[in-house]
Structure 1
Amino acid sequence: MTSPAAPGTGDLLRAYDDQLRERLSSALTQVRLGPLVLATYLGGRGFVTYRSLEEDGRPATEASVRRLVEQAMARYEAAPEIAYVEWKTRGHDHAPGLHEALLDHGFAPDEPESIMIGEARLLAQDIGLPAGVTVRRAVDEDDVRRMHVMQSRVFGDPPERAEAHLGQILHRLRTRNDMELWLAEAHGEVISAGRLEPEPGTDFAGIWGGATTPEWRGRGVYRALTAARARSAIAHGKRWITSDSTEFSRPILERSGLVKVSTTTPYEWRRGTA
């Protein structure tokens, strides 16, 4: 009896599109605007996502895309509590004129990232750690704050953004049970950290926010942190791991069998800078 063929890149991308693109676990509010989902979060953040930009079965055009951007931003601009908005684009979408429409409305693109997907079991390996390094779940708010300081420093987040994100994480941990935070320590210092988000009703868990201090890179710490999260994802009944990966983490995930199925580029609008 032959084993079923492993899913190809196209199958993984369809699963990603169908199961994940409109799931916004920690949003305070979500409203629909045609094909768009407009969300708000603690800390004055808005977020735009969608399964596709088609409307009523009609393919997107430059005019329809520009109209959607105008309508979405009219909503956010009319909400004074929203300080910044992220519009999450994907490289495989049919989105004529989206880049230009976003720029015209004051958005700036960030660096593209790779959308990675693969089987959790491929990541859930035993990884040897350097002497003195341990990997564990964060257990209290002190752990969360320590790991957040390290992540913000590695990512170069401005102080107001870092504080807003910390507030979101702490609120979610206090009010929900849908996320795990993991960290690696050496000599009492957090040297690597990331979170796991098992998505209810899907086959996926996401690994997000992975950061490692420069002096500990290339020594297996991030791989061990990822393996621990993958084992936990399997315990939650998830088959697939997904991650939006920088060029630091993409090669590590590829070596474990994950594949790049597309790219994602976040565009950001900030109130008062448009």
Structure 2
Amino acid sequence: MTGSSKNAQAAALLAAYDEQLRGGSEGAGVPTSMDGPVIRVEYPNRGFVSYRSLEGLDGAEVDALIARQRDFFAAKGQAVEWKLRGHDQPADLPDRLRAAGFEPEEQETVLVAESADIVERLRGRESVDGVAIRRTGETVDFERIAAMESIVWNDDWSWLADELVRHQATGLTDIYIAEAAGQVVSAAWAVYKQGTDFTGLWGGSTLAEWRGKGIYKALVAIRAARAEELGYKYLQVDASDDSSPILQRLGFVPVTTTTPWVHTPK
């Protein structure tokens, strides 16, 4: 593919991402409200703010919009995340968020691919010798996944079990567990964005001693095939710096970046 073709592909994928994934679909299944162009999502642990565009607002109006979201959640004693994409306008939005007391967390790369393309590229990579991968809806498995994640990140991820229960209850999430000799070695889930052509791929963390064996690729392949089967045209990932190069080699296209800007009330 030529450089111009790659640029055209990335532009088309970004347009689909902006049109379908930004705004209403991000608040599915939880309380939401609108404030002008933004959707305000009230998750149990913290607030979340997103939007498709701030076009038409002047600087003072943007500052007031940011302050209202901060104050809305501060009044509830909650932190709030403003999800900033790399191509968002105005260009000085990071400065305005910082001035309102928000701080950036780790930037990730937004990657998009067509499900059929990934299925074709990873054909035959859906399994790994000595590892059993299965879809699960059992709470005991969610607890085992949370324990595995706690080891991977050297932190308490027990909260993840309840999060997976919540995802499972929507009927729009498939959760996969990878086991070897009775031990959970990796896990990942696919979130189907109802009313869109997109499936979000989440998770994929793997115990250190099991990395490099093809488990991550197998989980991508399995979820891509399932998404295609269900009629979802696109796959989307917010990828860390560790995952992004792997996914790009598999055929995912970087279209923008995403950075959580978070305000935590004192």
TM-score exceeds 0.5: yes
Show the counterpart of 1:14.
15
Please list the CA deviations of residues 12-56 of structure 1 after superposition, one character each: whole Å capped at 9, or x if unmatched.
Answer: 1010000001112555211111111110112x31101100112xx
Cα offset, 1:171, TM superposition = 2.9
Query: Does the CA-based 8 Å contact 2:109-2:257 persist in structure 1?
Result: yes
Structure-1 separation of matches of 2:135 and 2:14: 30
Cα offset, 1:68, TM superposition = 1.2
Within the alignment, does 1:53 sit opposite 2:62 as a pair?
no
Total equivalences in the alignment: 257
Q: SS at 1:66's partner residue?
A: helix
Within the alignment, does 1:76 sit opposite 2:73 as a pair?
yes
Q: SS at 1:8's partner residue?
A: helix
Residue segments in structure 1 that go unaligned for 5+ positions in a row = none
Show the counterpart of 2:93.
98
Query: Counterpart amino acid of 2:172?
Result: D
Query: Does the CA-based 8 Å contact 2:126-2:221 persist in structure 1?
Result: no
Show the counterpart of 1:190.
184
Structure-2 separation of matches of 1:141 and 1:73: 34
Query: Counterpart amino acid of 2:38?
Result: L
Query: Does the CA-based 8 Å contact 1:66-1:98 persist in structure 2?
Result: no
Show the counterpart of 1:180.
174
Structure-1 separation of matches of 2:105 and 2:116: 31
Q: SS at 2:96's partner residue?
A: helix
Query: Counterpart amino acid of 2:106?
Result: E
Q: Structure 1 residues 233, 25: CA separation in 2 closer, same or farther (over 3 Å shift)?
A: farther
Cα offset, 1:139, TM superposition = 3.3
Cα RMSD between the aligned structures?
Answer: 2.1
Please list the CA deviations of residues 157-176 of structure 1 after superposition, one character each: whole Å capped at 9, or x if unmatched.
Answer: 5x3xx344432321342x32
Structure-1 separation of matches of 2:161 and 2:264: 19
Structure-2 separation of matches of 1:267 and 1:152: 24
Show the counterpart of 1:121.
116
Greater helix content: 2
Query: Does the CA-based 8 Å contact 1:65-1:97 persist in structure 2?
Result: no
Structure-2 separation of matches of 1:78 and 1:45: 12
Q: SS at 1:146's partner residue?
A: helix
Query: Does the CA-based 8 Å contact 1:27-1:39 persist in structure 2?
Result: no
Query: Does the CA-based 8 Å contact 1:46-1:85 persist in structure 2?
Result: yes
Structure-2 separation of matches of 1:38 and 1:25: 8
Structure-2 separation of matches of 1:77 and 1:156: 30
Cα offset, 1:199, TM superposition = 1.2
Query: Counterpart amino acid of 1:20?
Result: L
Within the alignment, does 1:148 sit opposite 2:146 as a pair?
yes
Please list the CA deviations of residues 88-120 of structure 1 after superposition, one character each: whole Å capped at 9, or x if unmatched.
Answer: 110011134321232233322112111101111
After TM superposition, the score normalised by the length of structure 1 is 0.86
2:208 to 214, 223, 234: 214
Within the alignment, does 1:34 sit opposite 2:31 as a pair?
no
Q: Structure 1 residues 97, 156: CA separation in 2 closer, same or farther (over 3 Å shift)?
A: farther
Q: SS at 1:127's partner residue?
A: coil
Q: SS at 2:26's partner residue?
A: coil
Q: Which moved more, 1:93-102 or 1:207-216?
A: 93-102
Cα offset, 1:156, TM superposition = 5.0
Cα offset, 1:79, TM superposition = 1.6
